[in-house]
Amino acid sequence: MVWCKSIDEIIDMKFICNPMQDKIKEIREQSNAFEIIDLESAEQYRLKFLVKKGLINLLFQEFRSVEPEKKKKFGAELNVLKKELESKHKEGLQSLNKSESNEDNTSLDLPAYFNDLGSRHPISHTIEHMTEIFERLGFDVVSGPEIEDDWHNFSALNFPKNHPARDMQDTFFVDKDHALRTHTSSVQVRLMENTKPPIRSIMPGRVYRNEAISARSNCFFHQVEGLYIDEEVSFSDLKQTLYQFVQEFFGPDTKVRFRASYFPFTEPSAEMDIYLGLETESDARLTKGTGWLEILGCGMVDVNVLENCGIDPSKYTGFAFGLGVDRIAMLKYGVKDLRTFFYNDKRFLSQFSSL
């Protein structure tokens, strides 16, 4: 038994039994007894306890009339109660969301959805096939940036200052000192600057030129360039390497020809054509009535290029070549319009799903 020895203790005992205290206890009991079993009951809980006209806010309004000396005690209890109510509502929703995500709503009566399997793009597959062949011939694979400075894209490759490739109508310039690379020869320059011979590498990648878009050309296309630098490398080594590639890629009976040409970075230079034929109108149009389609340019690396890259031309020689992947893919798969590769036409691309 507790004995009250003063009037203050009697007042404190009455305070404990204050209606405010009873209401806090009652709301807590109601909250504990409330079960949140679905979204509807969660919303009912929120409306009953947590909204502006809910029980907890009504109790806070009543709290304003509490005597100042008693507000500290009641205020702390009200804040604890509010956090308990909000926490229960939040945890209830989280539990419902988790259980819904784990439910298996599969109905065996519904029709099945069949997703079409993707496939390698013919251009990607062509690059992979070409890379495999050159790797068997002893070439490794290197890459470089698609935005290049003047030195690596032009100057180091023996392009004179007045060369038309430096003009806006032929090249996409990013600023006055940088452009989208016009060939992956820029990767060859970087390789020769940082690697001592012997060098035997290929450089696959996308390049950009400001050209008219047609059935046989585009403003961007793909190349696989190659570089071989060593002692006593000759033009016959270049021809035999390219003959071997064509025979492996297109077959042993493929008709090939070399034509003399000019490139600033090779001397002597040549172009290589494959015979496509004149059997159809599209063949004639694609080959400009000759039956032959150019697939690459090549030649012996120019002495100035070797010197620009810090390689002694009196000791080392080398050859370089650049294959047009898009045209090779056209020949390989019988595609008559280069633009078809880039239309993202599913009807066209689905024909290569077996690659």
Helix axes 235-250, 122-136, angle to 10 degrees: 130
pLDDT digits (tens, 9 = 90+) for 223-258: 999 999 999 999 999 999 999 999 999 888 889 999
Looking at residue 164, its pLDDT comes to 61
Looking at residue 6, its pLDDT comes to 43
CA distance 330 to 341: 9
Looking at residue 191, its pLDDT comes to 93
Angle (nearest 5°) at CA 23 between 22 and 29: 90
Looking at residue 162, its pLDDT comes to 67
For residue 1, what are the CA distances in angstroms to 4, 6, 253?
10, 16, 115
Low-confidence ranges of the chain (pLDDT < 70): 1-18, 99-108, 112-114, 116-118, 162-169, 354-355
pLDDT digits (tens, 9 = 90+) for 70-110: 778 878 888 888 888 888 888 888 888 876 665 556 666 77
Domain 122-352 top-level CATH class? alpha beta
Query: Residue written as tokens 């450089």?
Result: 203
CA distance 238 to 320: 8
In a 13 Å sphere around the CA of 121, the CA atoms on its Cβ side amount to 12
The full set of domain ranges for the chain reads 10-98, 122-352
Q: What residue type is 230 in one-letter code?
A: D
Terminal-residue alpha carbon distance, the chain: 93
